[in-house]
Every structure is written in C-alpha cells, then in structure tokens.
Amino acid sequence: MHKGKAGVINIVVVDDSATSRELLLGLFRGSSDIQVIGTGFNGMDAVALVKRLHPDVVIMDIRMPKLDGLEATKQIMREAPTPIVLVTGSSVSQDVDLSFKALRAGALTVVSKPGINDTETCNNIVQTVRLMADVPVLHHFRTRDGADKKPQAEAKQGLVEEFDVFLKQRLPEIKVIGIAASTGGPSALVTVLGGLPKDFPLPILVVQHITEGFAKGLATWLRTQVNIDVNLAIQGDKLQAGKVYLSPDDYHLQVSTRGTIHLTKEDAYKGLRPSANYLFNSLARIYGRHAMGVVLTGMGDDGAEGATALHKANGLVIAQDEQSSVVYGMPREVKMRNAVDQVLSLEHIVGVLNRINHIYEVRS
C-alpha cells in the first residue's frame, strides 16, 4: 500500500451521524500526517468512495442505513481490499455481534466512538489509523463467516520431523494452555478454538486485546462460533478441562499457585491491560514445563517478554506464522527473541492441540 505525498495517510470517513462524523473529521484535521479525502453517510457510500479514491484506511460506523458496516466490509474486501477500522458507540449485543462478524469478513479492528472531551479515545483512534495504514490486506472473494466452523481434527502433513519427535515427548506433559492475540485475533481464535472438541482435556486461558467494553461480547460471540465453552475469567475460578477463560476488560489474567484464576490491576504494559506478559509469566512460575504458550496474530510486542520467561522455564512456546497472520507483530517479536519452539500456521496449531486431545483419549 502506498501512502500519499510525504507519507500522509489518506482516509475515508463514513458515518450516518452528522455529529459523530464531524467529531471524527475534527479529530483527523488536527493530525498533520492524516488527510481526509472523502466522507459518506452509509455503507454504499463507503464502497463507492473506496473504489473511486483508493484510500489508505476506511473509518466507518458499524450500524448504518442502506448498507451496514458488515455488508460494506464484505463488498470492500471482495472488490477493493483496504484496511478497515470500525467505530461504534454501542456495546449492545446486536452491534457487538455485527462488529465481530465484520472482523471475520476482513475488517482489521473495532474502536469506540469518542466523546467530545474523551482525549484518550480520540488519541487511540488516531494512533489506530496510523498503525492500520501499514497493514497489508487481501481479497476475500467470499466471506469467512462459517468458513472455519468445521473442526480441523488434524493438521496438514509437513511438520518438521525433528519437531514432530519433540512434540511426542512434550505434549503428554502439558497441563494448561495460554493464548495471546491482538489485531486479527478474534478470527484466529475462531479457527483455533473452533477446531477443538467440546470435551478438550485441558483449560485454555486467552488474552485478546479488544476495545474496552467488548470483552463480554467477544466471549458471547465466540460461544456461537465454537464447540468448546468460552467465558470471561472470574477471580478465584478453578481451572477446568474443556473451559476457555477469556481476560475481562481492564484486568490482567494470571493463574495462582492453587490452580485458580487470579485477576489483577497491576501496571499496564505499554497501555495494555490485559497484557499477555502477565499470563505467560504466571504460567512460567506456576506450571513451567507443563504449560504451553501460543502467540497469535497481533500488533506490537506484548507477550514476548512473558513467552521468553515461559521458554526459559522449559514451557512449550508456539507462534503463528507470517503467512496466516493478519499482523505479524507479536509472533515475530517472540521469534526474534529466540523464545519459540516452532512457528506454525493456524492449521498446524489446531493440529498440535488436537494431538493433545488424542493423547488424553488414548490414556482414557
């Protein structure tokens, strides 16, 4: 993707609310590196503007007349792939569900609409646009809704033989799994968790960076997409097999020495709470070689420090590969620190987890 002159990011803003649209326009006018080259009122405008103006990023509301953000995302990703940032002023279940469906269809992220004096949210939107302008996007000739719903019991052939032998030695020891994800994560989680049976034999803890207020909606949405049980983590919950514990808004997710959930408000990592570093560090301390850490698609380096600690504690660390990542940031950082046992595609990650399931089936 090529930006405008002198590195300026050309954007299109689409929102049926005149008040919200003007607030966004005023926000971007104050940024010298961002230029608004078009505005619209509904999803049909968004599609037309993208095809005509070829912006670097599209910022659009999820709930719009004539064509909503989901359908507009589908058309844009089929006809003129462009980084899409969704904005919403609502956390009601219908809008949350619509937002996650749009993420599956190719939108990169969803952010909250800012209030007039909401400086933090305003700054977050501007920074998000800057980051998303550099993300390469691909054609989606069909939407991904439902594309990954059928369980992928086995990975493709082709794992490195040496690693295959290593897995046979290590997988029987694993007692808990931690997963970290950011940009592109909801879709990746559907693929990974959707490939697992309802009675998966281990607990899974997940840190997903998501707009505040959306964690509960993500858990609800994931339950409609996968067979395994997904819930927000609750302080003191005892880890159970076949359960996925998702980090709640504004809390770090960890495990305690008693094998229970421990939620904390400790310092944010580079503005992130939850941070995957806290999860992986606790797994390293409590479980060591009996823990597996999986680092999925995402921007930045969250999780790298914790994955390094887990790796040093002889835990098993796997990172998603560049080809299947929406953003190859977090997995790359883990790889660069030599804290990963293997870099795998999403399909291979599902295969590895299902081998754990097979091990437990044989034992029983």
Q: Examine the residue annotation and report whether 140 is marked as an active-site residue of this protein.
A: no
Name the catalytic one among 112, 182, 324, 325: 182
For 37, phi then psi, to 5°, come to -105, 0
Give the separation between CA 332 and CA 323, rounded to whole angstroms: 12
Name the catalytic one among 16, 95, 302, 321: 302
Mean pLDDT (whole number) for 333-362? 94
Q: Examine the residue annotation and report whether 139 is marked as an active-site residue of this protein.
A: no
What pTM did the predictor assign? Answer: 0.89
Residue of 145 and 76 predicted with greater confidence: 76
Residue of 199 and 97 predicted with greater confidence: 199
pLDDT tens for 288-298 read 999 999 999 99
Mean pLDDT (whole number) for 42-68? 96
Residue of 93, 73, 86 lying closest to 112 (CA atoms): 86
pLDDT tens for 174-220 read 999 999 999 999 999 999 999 999 999 999 999 999 988 899 999 99
Angle between helices 43-53 and 69-79 (to 10 degrees): 20
Q: Are 89 and 24 in contact (CB under 8 A)?
A: no
Note the pLDDT of residue 159. Answer: 56
Name the catalytic one among 140, 209, 252, 311: 209
Give the separation between CA 15 and CA 4, rounded to whole angstroms: 23
Q: Examine the residue annotation and report whether 182 is marked as an active-site residue of this protein.
A: yes
Using pLDDT thresholds of 50, 70 and 90, give the confidence band for residue 4.
low
